[in-house]
Chains A and B, each alone.
Chain A
């Protein structure tokens, strides 16, 4: 009795026309079509209106700008898919960055002060290499904070909104504590290579950070689309009670999702200090809004169960194209650009909502 159309109804006479079939196709893929339309429209708009937008150099800029956001967004996609939220990503990112820079410059563990060689030089098969232990530790600490989020949300029952809000403060506070509030202006050279704006590979065309982000996105997509854990994430978000009644350990699933989100946030923070060549405990706050906006813009539901990395990629590109394109527009006050960006985002979200209505109509007629 739950569905809108009874099952026993007979099907109408004429075969559906081309228009109906298109409508059906659009309805079934509504979650992808609206963001894709927005992206294409913006791309064409900025290409036509500005001379600079459609140049290799500028497109490289777009990629470089969204790189750290893309890495963080890959993890946040997991969290949104299981119908939770992570507000702590930006401060975990900042903390991981500051921590890593501290390891690099001080060679000590903060607070306790034990000295340690975080970047030992070793000889591997005759190659002199620097082992990035400090980077790994910083990433693991970020994952650990995410895991703590996950444990307290899943097994203790603190709502993720509140828990990660508290972690936002904790992460920011720790970053400040470790750096004593100062900018650390030296960072590991490996991160400068991975995150730096000028570094490119493949005949000097593709920014390294773009490759890194793409790799993270692809790994996350494989996990979500082709592993059991990924399926459990979707089903937990789709109907947690039903997933549990099917024998899925939903608590563990939610916990791991928050851990992944912490890890990717940490990686984003590390790339970020690589790009800026310094670690600023007060920077990076806008990463939170950008990341979540990008994921949602791509069509992943805030209520869980629907969307995915492919949507997130589209959302990221929309975001990247928009903020880059707006900066290129002449005749717009730079003071108005933030507001304008917000307004356009609302318009894009509106389009998503409208497309989902179409999907509902489709549901009714199927």
Chain B
């Protein structure tokens, strides 16, 4: 039936976004169905008797906290794991995939958060990856490949020069190419894992346009995301998972973020939801001495003319999209990005950190946006925690017992779970890994703490814990810079907010009412 759908793509393109399963076939048979699927890993249970169905021509949102089972569900569909119990029905017949390649061959395509594009190859080569057309000599037919790749992208409404190397494209464009490739290789079912988490607003809009286009061509899409607005903006139906079980599958009509959060975490979430939806009034400016003062700081190609102050016991929020220059600014403060002009003062003294080591010694701590660049997954939690301040924590020759007790205290303070400091850090969930990285910087109280996307990709509960900890540090007098591309985070936690766009500060909010729309309008 999916072939039918492909042959008549455009006539129903105008159907509203929120329309549940649409024609061709009314009460269409699902493309894919799970019945009573259970999956265990050793003694741990990841999915419990989950039913799930995907209709032709629908975008199906999948939400749940970290650990609710989204990843496992997705991996079963993509052939990475096989279910322990239950049935997987694909196009009307039960299937059992033993490898991702089998699922791929049957038309189930997967777009992971980490893209699998070849950065050095051109767009056209990426679209044709592994299946390049050849001429009669058996060599790659470049002209045909480029023409076909261009035609294919145009058909999907993607306007990209196919002769460009992939690495020159923005992340958003690379993602579009990857999706196009999956479609081109014949996928009927496309699973997207957190596709919007690294995209700017306009880029996400382009992604949504492509997703709608694919839906209107009869493809079925599963859209996994922590961004509930995104889920609500584009899904036809939404399935909510909680603690390895399915809570509900609902048509996206009259569904609100509040309702989704309620279903995801159970219980009453009204206060939490309120802070998401409405604006907030920022407090009056603090009167403590400024700890960090930046004046006219500029780094070519990254940011220009940045002037700001952060006081003790204050959280300065920086909001902007990717490419606003916030990460580069943080790296400049941490000695990882050379600057061309401007001054940085710490407690009145001019500083010019040229390495993380120097910045650390000055009392600056930086939590990067990239957890892979901060965590030692194969090493124990305590080694992760003590590393940054090892020189002050232990004597020249030390035994691990002393170190363990220091780490233990920090594990308790940051609420890492499970709280066993001898466990390998890679075994923790994302939220708890972030707590470990935060704990590392708390072994010695920093003067300035720079947090770049401290809660990205975390579930609601872990997010709250990390944010509470940040508030606690503020109370203790740390000057905090909170950088995020999520307006909610900046909005809810900051005392003052700066909005950045294309490397410049476009707006400062102090002691006034500010809302999400207002923030975004300056970014």
Q: Which residues of A contact B (CB under 8 A)?
A: 1-12, 14, 16, 20, 222, 226-228, 231-232, 234-235, 238-239, 241-249, 305-306, 363-366
Question: Assuming A235-B379, A239-B375, is B387 touching A12 (CB within 8 A)?
Answer: no
**A134 CB to nearest B CB, Å:** 32
- Interface positions of B (Cβ within 8 A of A): 40-46, 65-69, 71-72, 113, 193-194, 243-244, 334, 336, 355-357, 359-361, 366, 368, 371-379, 383, 387-388, 390-391, 394, 396-399, 417, 423-424, 426-433, 440, 457
* A222 touching B374, Cβ below 8 Å: no
The answer to whether B383 and A235 have CB atoms under 8 Å apart is: yes
Bound together, the chains give a CA A4 to CA B71 distance in angstroms of 9
Q: In the complex, what distance in Å separates the CA atom of A241 from the CA atom of B379?
A: 15
The interface centre, meaning the residue of A231, A244, A364 with most chain B CB atoms within 10 A of its CB, is A231
Contact B379 A247 (CB under 8 A): no
Extra pairs beyond A7-B417, A7-B428 (12, CB < 8 Å) = A6-B71, A6-B72, A7-B67, A7-B432, A10-B243, A11-B44, A226-B399, A228-B396, A245-B336, A245-B373, A246-B360, A247-B356
Contacts A246-B440, A365-B43 given; indicate if A8 touches B376 (C-beta within 8 A): no
Return the 4 tightest CB-CB contacts between A and B, nearest first: A365-B42, A8-B67, A7-B429, A6-B67
Pairwise interchain contact B356-A245, C-beta atoms closer than 8 A: yes
Q: A8-B66, A245-B366 are in contact. Are A363 and B426 (CB under 8 A)?
A: yes
Q: Closest approach, in angstroms, between the C-beta of B177 and any C-beta of chain A?
A: 23
Cross-interface CB contact of B397 among A1, A12, A222, A364, cutoff 8 Å: A222
A6: chain B residues within 8 A (beta carbon): 46, 66-69, 71-72, 429
Are B43 and A16 within 8 A (Cβ)? yes
Residue of B nearest to A5 (CB): B41
**A247 and B417 within 8 A (CB):** no
Q: Which residues of A contact B193 (CB under 8 A)?
A: 1
CB atoms of A248 and B44 under 8 A apart = no
- Total cross-chain contacts (CB, 8 A): 146
Q: Is the CB of B357 within 8 A of A226?
A: no
* Residue on B nearest A16 in the bound complex, by CB: B43
In the bound complex, CA of A365 to CA of B426 (Å): 13
17 contacts between A and B (CB under 8 A): A2-B377, A4-B41, A6-B46, A6-B67, A6-B68, A8-B68, A10-B244, A226-B397, A228-B398, A231-B390, A242-B374, A243-B387, A246-B387, A247-B355, A247-B360, A306-B378, A365-B43
Given the interface contacts A227-B396, A231-B383, A246-B388, does A241 sit within 8 Å of B417 by beta carbon?
no
Q: State whether A3 touches B429 (Cβ < 8 A).
A: yes
Q: Bound complex: CA of A231 vs CA of B380, how far in Å?
A: 12
Are A228 and B394 in contact (CB-based, < 8 A)? yes
Distance A248 CA – B386 CA, assembled complex (angstroms): 12
Q: Decide: A2 near B394, CB < 8 A? Known: A8-B66, A247-B360.
A: no
The interface residues of chain B lying within 8 Å CB-to-CB of A363 are 424, 426-427
Q: How far is the CB of A4 from chain B (nearest CB, A)?
A: 7
State how many angstroms separate the Cβ of B159 from the closest Cβ of chain A: 31
Q: How far is the CA of A20 from the CA of B43 in the complex (A)?
A: 10
Give B357's nearest chain A residue, CB to CB: A247
Do B357 and A238 touch (CB < 8 A)? no
Chain A residues contacting B68 (CB-CB under 8 Å) are 6, 8
Chain B residues near A226: list those with CB within 8 A. Answer: 397-399
Contact A238 to B360, CB < 8 A, known contacts A3-B428, A366-B427: no
Closest Cβ–Cβ distance, residue B436 to chain A (whole Å): 11
- Residues in A with CB closer than 8 Å to B356 are 244-247
- The answer to whether B375 touches A242 (Cβ under 8 A) is yes
Q: Which of B359, B376, B423, B433 contacts A238 (CB 8 A)?
A: B376
Closest to B441 in A: A246
List of B residues within 8 angstroms of A7 by Cβ = 66-67, 417, 428-429, 431-432
Docked pose: A234 CA to B41 CA in angstroms = 30
The distance in angstroms between the C-alpha atoms of A233 and B189, with both chains bound, is 46
Residues from chain A with a CB closer than 8 A to the CB of B46 are 5-6, 9
- A364, B428: Cβ atoms closer than 8 Å: no
- Collect the chain B residues with CB atoms within 8 Å of residue A11's CB: 43-45
Complex: A320 Cα to B193 Cα, angstroms = 51
Cβ 8 A contact of B243, one of A2, A8, A243, A247: A8
Beyond A3-B429, A305-B379, A366-B427, whether A242 also contacts B373 by CB under 8 A is yes
Task: Give Cα A246 to B436, complex, Å.
Answer: 13
B113 touches A1 (CB 8 A): yes
How far, in whole Å, are A366 and B397 apart by their CA atoms in the complex? 32
Determine if A10 and B357 form an interchain contact, defined as CB atoms under 8 angstroms apart: no
CB B66 to nearest CB in A, in angstroms, measures 6
Contact A364 to B42, CB < 8 A, known contacts A10-B243, A245-B373:
yes
Chain A residues whose C-beta falls within 8 Å of the C-beta of B375 in the assembled complex: 239, 242
The reply to whether B41 and A247 contact each other, CB–CB distance below 8 Å, is no
Within the assembled complex, what's the spacing in Å between the Cα atoms of A30 and B338? 44
Complex CA–CA separation, A5 to B428 (angstroms): 9
Q: Which residue of A lies closest to B364 (CB)?
A: A247
Complex interface: chain B residues within 8 A of A1 (CB): 66, 71, 113, 193-194, 430, 457
Q: How far is the CA of A324 from the CA of B397 in the complex (A)?
A: 38
Question: CB distance B376 to A235 under 8 Å?
Answer: yes
Task: Name the distance in Å between A255's Cβ and chain B's nearest Cβ.
Answer: 15
Could you tell me if A9 and B373 are in contact, using CB atoms closer than 8 angstroms? no
What distance in Å separates the Cβ of A117 from its nearest Cβ neighbour in chain B? 37
Chain B residues near A10 (CB-CB < 8 A): 44-45, 243-244
Q: Are B44 and A9 in contact (CB under 8 A)?
A: yes
Given A5-B41, A7-B67, A363-B427, the answer on whether A248 and B396 have CB atoms closer than 8 Å is: no
A241 to B390 Cα, complex, angstroms: 17
B399 proximity list for chain A (CB < 8 A) = 226
A12 to B40, CA, bound (A): 9
A14 to B457, CA, bound (A): 33
> Quick one: closest A residue to B193, CB to CB?
A1
Q: Are A12 and B43 in contact (CB under 8 A)?
A: yes
